[in-house]
Amino acid sequence: MKHLFSPFHIRNCVLKNRIVMSALASFLIEDSGATTGKTVEHYRCRAAGGPAMVIMEACAISPEGVVSSHQARIDDDRFVDGLSKIAAAIKSEGAIPAVQIHHSGRQVPAKVIGRKPYAPSPLPCPTIRGEVEPLILEGIRDQVTKFGNAAIRARDAGFELLEIHGAHGYLVNQFLSRFSNIRDDEYGGDIEGRTRFAREIVTEIRKCLGADFPLSFKISAQEFVPDGLTVEESVEILKILAAAGIDIVQVSAGNDATAEWICQPMFMGKACLADSAAKIRKSLNIPVMVVGRINDPETAEEIIRSGKADLVCMGRGLLADPEMPNKARLGQFDEIRTCIACNHCMESIFRKGHVECLVNPFLGREQELVCRPASFPRKVMVVGGGPGGLNVAWIAAKRGHQVVLYEQQTVLGGQLLLGSIPDFKKELRNLIRFQVKQIEKHGVDCRLGSEVTADTVKQENPDVLVLATGSLPSFPPVSGIDQPFVLSFTQALNGDRPAPRKTVVVGGGPTGCEIALHLAENGSTVSIVEMLPHIGHGLETMTFRVLFSQLKKYGVEVLTGTRLSRIEESGVVVAGVENHERFIEAEKVVLAVGCLPNGQLSTAVRALGFETHLIGDCLEPRNAKAAIYEGTVLGLNI
């Protein structure tokens, strides 16, 4: 790790290593745009983990420039005090405090800001839609001034580097790209014209902060849309901005129409933008940092060693484990809680209004979920070695309880093991590895290959019994369900490479879609049968986009609004609109229609009188995130 942990300079900023936490929305912000103690603690924890620099999430430079009422703001002096607490917390932990400034442009619903959003041209956001108000020359000058005022506030708050958000389809990016800018005045047309707005912002900030204040520019070097930015065009843009005064560029990608490139799901390769960054670095005389699925120190080290970038930006990786840099520096690689790119962090922002993490339940709850030694050590018996059972076991043991864990299988991991079998979900194994390491580290007594009965519980005689026995696949009540070629999803994911077969997957939820892709990638001809109007219900948007495109690539047939009628000797009969039946030839049928709680043991031990807790799927089938969170909360409170 000698390259990753070598120092670096950006003007007067001395970075102790090459790891930067990129500006990633937490939305742990009041409706007014003000920061809170929770926000400060969030950033303090990230800085304490050992990155050289932490860039605070995008702060809006004007009230209509927010993307959400929970976005941080820097458009008024009243926000400086709260921002200064974040900068001070970052600096107190030995990291350079930086902040990103931003205007959403057309990429915000009118109902959020109470007016039509501004844009370079009369082109609505491709996903939000709705009318926009093209900026007139006076409005452009006003926005440039506001960027300058925001920069002054950032400096006054104690931040030591400023980043202009010129990526991801927001206002500055909208001016740069022909995809969103069809102006015919001096702010449109050729590269020089489309870069004018960004160049004027850089010039204004330099006027406000002086020549020596470190300034970064984040760009979507590729937008992957017609008329969108390409690496070659981005190089020319960045040459103009470097001459205007930027010191470093952060290479990202995508816009609102290609959001999967902004926050890449697990189906996309690690460090997927590193080659683009390398091309840009070769063409510029300023340093380059790169973001995009850099979630482990080995990948980061190779990027720096090979000269593809000068700095690596980690966002989700430091949400999953803020201590990753310190652990990597000390060689504690098996202690790292690795981001699995499930994008639950993004999903929680959109659905709950604040960030959460599947693998790290402490994220955003640093002040609430605190691991303290147990006042009275107790004997805790945990039944089930899936994600919920593992989490409650190691956390309880860490607090000083005596923990014994029973698992019916000969390996730990539960349904996470099944989920990790498709090659595109293999990073789930990192989560299993982390959980198992914690079990070993904190001295949990594991009894593998052990089926638990009421008698087992009586023999153990625990003070606390935790049931994390998971769920069992459910089977629809249709004729032919007992045919030998009908498999549950657990049987289909048995670890063996599946032989190519004509296959029907019944159920188009996340599990069904993933199994369909897994089978199709291994040569099967696959049809998905789903009763709902759409497949992938419950999947995070960016993950679904990539998954759906992969299903199309491998020719998977998707039948929505269709139910399974019966299973025959050579295939299935399904019924669609108006109950019109259709026969689909099949050599294999995989059922992925949901699960039922495995409550057999809870019923058997109910009368024994032990303090008993149920967590995860045996309480109600949901997902690994819920099981891990419930296991954490219980482990902290026993």
Q: Is 51 helix (H, G, I), strand (E, B) or coil?
A: coil
Measured in degrees and rounded to the nearest 5, phi and psi for residue 468 equal -130, 55
On the 0-12 / 13-18 / 19+ scale of CB atoms within 10 A, 442 is middle
Q: Report CA-CA distances (Å) from 59 to 216, 242, 310.
A: 15, 23, 25
Q: Are 54 and 47 in contact (CB under 8 A)?
A: yes
Report how far residue 169's alpha carbon sits from residue 177's, in angstroms, rounded to the nearest whole number: 9
From the list 629, 47, 46, the residue with the least C-alpha distance to 316 is 46
DSSP secondary structure, 369-386, as one string: ------SS--EEEEE--S
Q: Is 98 helix (H, G, I), strand (E, B) or coil?
A: strand
Report how far residue 387's alpha carbon sits from residue 635's, in angstroms, rounded to the nearest whole number: 13
Active site residue 187: no
Pairing of strands 311-314, 288-290: parallel
Q: What are 299's two structure tokens?
A: 């990948």
**Catalytic-role residue among 43, 118, 170, 406:** 170
Q: What are 91's two structure tokens?
A: 């600096």
Q: Which residues contact 36 (CB under 8 A, 6 or more apart)?
A: 28, 29, 30, 82
Q: Report CA-CA distances (Å) from 204 to 308, 522, 539.
A: 31, 56, 43
Report how far residue 417's alpha carbon sits from residue 253's, in angstroms, rounded to the nearest whole number: 32
H/E segment holding residue 520: helix 510-521
Report how far residue 277's alpha carbon sits from residue 291's, in angstroms, rounded to the nearest whole number: 9
Rg (C-alpha) for the chain, rounded Å, is 26
> Catalytic residues, which ones?
170
